[in-house]
Structure 1
Amino acid sequence: MTTFNLTTRFFRTLLPLFLLALAAMSVSAQNTSTHVAIIEIDGTITPAMASYVESSIKEAERDDAEAIVLRIDTPGGLSSAMEDIVTAIVESDVPVIAWVGPTNARAASAGVYITYASHIAAMAPGTNIGSASPVNSDGSDIDETMKNKVINDAVSRIRNLAEMRDRNEEWAVSAVTNAANITATDALDLGVINLISPNIPTLLNDVNGMTVTLNNGETVTLNTAGASTETIGMNGFERFLQMISDPTIAYLLLSFGALGIFLELSNPGSFIPGIIGVLSFILGFYGLGTLPVNWTGLALIGLAFALFFIDLFVSSYGLLLVGGMISFVFGSYMLIDESVPGYGTVARPVIWVCAGLVLASAIAIGMLVVRLQRSAPTTGKKAMIGEIATVRQELKPSGMVFFDGELWGATLEHEQDSAPVGANVRIVGVTGIRLTVALTSEEEVNKVAEAPRREHLVPVSSVSSVAQ
């Protein structure tokens, strides 16, 4: 009997403890099963960044995430990309929490709109928010004609977001009209943000139990304490587009693109430098389109390559080459408008490396042209008479023709004549490196093509070897 009583008391004591442990395990399992998606808005707001945020929000919705945390550290960016992000946040079926962090991060320009659009806004200590005044895509102030229209539109947009999220409307307008900028502490005091949290785990505990209203009218109470986190990263294509928006990368692509096109124009026919150059040029301009570009700097870089090309056909005794290099270096330094904070600039060592490559290429091409100039009259002058060349630049009466692998300046024998691009002309004279040509018939072209090639006509490979 005594043993039975002891056993009964033992189970009566342990049973509540056992049930309490089960309840704790259940709560723990429930918190672990909920997860929060982390989306990192780190860097310039570009179309690639907007695409990444939009697709990541959709992924979080599909995965039934408890909430989305936008970790923000941005100097701003394109207004069109910002609008796409704001729209995705407003229409999200999952609560969105904006967190400006870690320490030293900022939400400038477009970052202000993104923070205001989020259901809950938080900042880490030592961060700042503001400077939302709209500017041109090149970073300059908008001209007076458009300024009022653009400012009014931006103010209306930030007012709507402030009313929607019950945040400080007066400061938001000041951030747009006066480029106001404040610290995390001031932002909390002014009602710009909801709380200050030093890190994301603390943030999730701080927002636990808060209630937000989604775009569809549904009210959601956050259950984020102890929730697991999952960072959604950019895909490879998005990372590539974001990478080329870096000032140094965009500058390299622009420089290599211009150099490739220059090499192709200097020695047409190989196509590889031209193809690579055009692709690099396009990608470089995409990157520059997301940055505050100084168009004077870009024009100076273009002028540099124009001078290099002219130098191939004009005896300037190196003056055009020197002028081109000065223009290239100055343009490179001026390319990114450094008065617009947060975007960085082109790395100075990269500028000098590119300048060296461009100079070496220009000198190499120039030396080859000089050697060809010296060799053409003595080795190929007589043999060229009667040969057929193809027009590459319309002859009216002067232009460019392509013969034996080389591009030549040419003038029609009769000034009243003209020849379109692609037409065949007959060489009737050679003066230095300039040809005198005449219109020809298809029958004459066929006769020249059928005739055996003259042995003393020097091919391009032979000219190159002689030049060496």
Structure 2
Amino acid sequence: MRRLLLLFAALCIALPSLAQVVRLKLDDTIQPVSEEYISRGIDYAAEHNAQAVLIELHTPGGLVTSTRAIISKILGSKVPVIIYVYPTGANAASAGFFILESADIAAMAPGTNTGSAHPVSLAFGVAQTKEDDTMKAKIENDLAAFLRSYVSKRGRNVALAETGVRESKAFSDQEALSQNLIDVIAKDEQDLLSQVNGRTVKRFDGSTVVMKIAAAPITDYDRSLKERLLGFLVDPNIAFLIFAIGAIGLYAEFNHPGAIIPGVVGTVCILLALFAFHFLPIRYAAVTLILASFIFFALEAKFATHGILGIAGIACLALGGMLLVDGPIPEMRVKWEMALSVSVAFGLITVFLMTIALRARRNKVTTGIQGLLGQTGVARSPLSPTGKVTVMGEIWDAASLVPVAAGEPVVIRGIDGLTLRVEPVAQSVAAREVVLQR
């Protein structure tokens, strides 16, 4: 019994040393994939009784909906959350500022910055109406109120934090620390854990936690394969490129049925692009422009417009690509270089393929029975009106309304079953000359 008690006491002493800090790395735009990753990471930390969650943050911003979801998860976390803008040179701009301020402990590395959280609306030179200004004001007020709702409970500088939303103010690490926007400046993770160790943190629900993490090992929580794949696909430039490749593949399959490979590749690419678009804010007007570009490409190949419709198609596709994703930051929009290069290449390839297809359909059939029409042959026997003719090395039954002597050349004008309807070449030439004279 005494040995059991000693063993239990030893375990009680050893258990604290097994505490861990779960580290998540958010080095990307804020979008649904980031939201899922952070949510799973916080749940993992809670399930494994971690002492803290350390989120290393470096982001230019992202979607408001995903930002709200991440902040909601942080505020409701059972495990204290430390958000650390790291490494040196990193920033937590726009949505990153909102996330940083939601942390139980907000920290920055030397040489980092945060702020510039004013909501962005894309106008692209279009005059703003009074309704647009009203909507912008409503969005700004809503985000400012959202920020105040948790910054005040974290005991940070509410008025200054609000200027990051209303006036797009940005702050260096020293400015953020001196004006009570963050709690710590640390050069690396170990320095951060040392400074935070022993602090009493007031949780969002009002409870307090004493941080004992100085010697806690840091356990990385990596993204799943699905999250890495989606993170690659939701890049608007990648999604748009995959969509264009898919469209070319399907078009090639439609014009050359049975090729199989272009159809399979095109279908897979289109499905991947649509899946990525599901996670992005898509403009339906831009989709209409892209569809219009396909129509222009088809018409350019069908009618001789000397490239006018082709240029119109390229312009529609480029403009549709640039406007396709209504991202709040440049990193979440299709770059004009990508849109233009894809549009020009797509337009040229599409017009080229369609031109070949239309020419092939207009060409005279040269194989099978239909390929015999217009061909010349030689009468093997007199046709009066029926007999035998030799055409392309084959002997056929033939009939002529005009008597034809053996050895006389004939031209095929029709086919009745397995009998050719022919006429003398001399008569055919004479008839053509009469038409030309008229």
TM-score, normalization by structure 1: 0.67
SS in 1 for 2:107: strand
Paired letter, 1:61? A
Name the structure 2 match of 1:174: 163
Name the structure 2 match of 1:92: 77
SS in 1 for 2:152: helix
1 CA distance for matches of 2:53 and 2:280? 28
Instruction: Report matched runs for 1:11-50 at 5 Å.
Output: 32-50=17-35
What displacement does 1:128 show?
1.0
Name the structure 2 match of 1:239: 228
2 CA distance for matches of 1:331 and 1:375? 39
Counterpart check, 1:119 vs 2:104: yes
The verdict on how the C-alpha distance between 1:355 and 1:47 changes in structure 2, with shifts beyond 3 A counting, is: same
Counterpart check, 1:53 vs 2:53: no
Give the conservation status (yes or no) of the 8 Å contact 1:138–1:291: no
Which of residues 108, 113, 118 is equivalent to 2:93?
108
Name the structure 1 match of 2:62: 77
What displacement does 1:133 show?
1.7
Instruction: Report matched runs for 1:314-329 at 5 Å.
Output: 314-325=303-314, 327-328=316-317
SS in 2 for 1:38: strand
Name the structure 2 match of 1:189: 178
The verdict on how the C-alpha distance between 1:212 and 1:184 changes in structure 2, with shifts beyond 3 A counting, is: same
2 CA distance for matches of 1:380 and 1:315? 32
Give the conservation status (yes or no) of the 8 Å contact 2:27–2:59: yes
Give the conservation status (yes or no) of the 8 Å contact 1:44–1:77: yes
Counterpart check, 1:280 vs 2:269: yes
1 CA distance for matches of 2:419 and 2:322? 52
1 CA distance for matches of 2:109 and 2:201? 21
What displacement does 1:44 show?
0.9
The verdict on how the C-alpha distance between 1:204 and 1:236 changes in structure 2, with shifts beyond 3 A counting, is: same
1 CA distance for matches of 2:353 and 2:153? 64
Counterpart check, 1:155 vs 2:134: no
Range that drifts further, 354-363 or 266-275: 266-275
What displacement does 1:316 show?
3.0
2 CA distance for matches of 1:66 and 1:90? 16
Q: CA offsets per residue over residues 1-23 of structure 1, 9 Å max, x none?
A: xxxxxxxxxxxxxxxxxxxxxxx
What displacement does 1:75 show?
1.3
Instruction: Report matched runs for 1:35-434 at 5 Å.
Output: 35-136=20-121, 143-263=132-252, 266=255, 277=266, 280-281=269-270, 283-285=272-274, 287=276, 301-325=290-314, 327-328=316-317, 340-343=329-332, 346=335, 348=337, 352=341, 355-356=344-345, 359-375=348-364
Name the structure 2 match of 1:444: none
Q: CA offsets per residue over residues 288-318 of structure 1, 9 Å max, x none?
A: 5666878887665444322112234334344
Percent same amino acid at aligned positions?
31
2 CA distance for matches of 1:265 and 1:290? 29
The verdict on how the C-alpha distance between 1:279 and 1:197 changes in structure 2, with shifts beyond 3 A counting, is: same
In structure 1, runs of 5+ residues without a counterpart are: 1-24, 384-452, 457-468
The verdict on how the C-alpha distance between 1:311 and 1:342 changes in structure 2, with shifts beyond 3 A counting, is: closer
Aligned residues: 365
The verdict on how the C-alpha distance between 1:130 and 1:349 changes in structure 2, with shifts beyond 3 A counting, is: closer
Q: CA offsets per residue over residues 176-223 of structure 1, 9 Å max, x none?
A: 111111111110111000011121111111100111133454321111
What displacement does 1:28 show?
11
The verdict on how the C-alpha distance between 1:344 and 1:195 changes in structure 2, with shifts beyond 3 A counting, is: farther
The verdict on how the C-alpha distance between 1:134 and 1:347 changes in structure 2, with shifts beyond 3 A counting, is: closer
In structure 2, runs of 5+ residues without a counterpart are: 1-9, 373-416, 421-438
2 CA distance for matches of 1:357 and 1:148? 40
What displacement does 1:111 show?
1.1
What displacement does 1:274 show?
5.8
TM-score, normalization by structure 2: 0.71
Paired letter, 1:163? S
2 CA distance for matches of 1:129 and 1:365? 52
What displacement does 1:225 show?
0.7
Paired letter, 2:26? I
The verdict on how the C-alpha distance between 1:28 and 1:183 changes in structure 2, with shifts beyond 3 A counting, is: farther
SS in 2 for 1:132: coil
Give the conservation status (yes or no) of the 8 Å contact 1:262–1:305: no
Paired letter, 1:160? S
2 CA distance for matches of 1:240 and 1:139? 31
State which structure, 1 or 2, has the greater radius of gyration over its C-alpha atoms.
2
1 CA distance for matches of 2:275 and 2:299? 28
SS in 2 for 1:192: coil
2 CA distance for matches of 1:61 and 1:454? 84
What displacement does 1:26 show?
11
1 CA distance for matches of 2:122 and 2:266? 25
Give the conservation status (yes or no) of the 8 Å contact 2:53–2:81: yes
Q: CA offsets per residue over residues 316-370 of structure 1, 9 Å max, x none?
A: 3444334434554566567678994554864958964774365234313311221
The verdict on how the C-alpha distance between 1:327 and 1:246 changes in structure 2, with shifts beyond 3 A counting, is: same
The verdict on how the C-alpha distance between 1:34 and 1:336 changes in structure 2, with shifts beyond 3 A counting, is: same
Name the structure 2 match of 1:464: none
What displacement does 1:54 show?
0.6
Q: CA offsets per residue over residues 60-119 of structure 1, 9 Å max, x none?
A: 011111101111111111111111111110111100001011111111121112111110
Paired letter, 1:54? S
Give the conservation status (yes or no) of the 8 Å contact 1:257–1:276: yes
SS in 2 for 1:164: coil
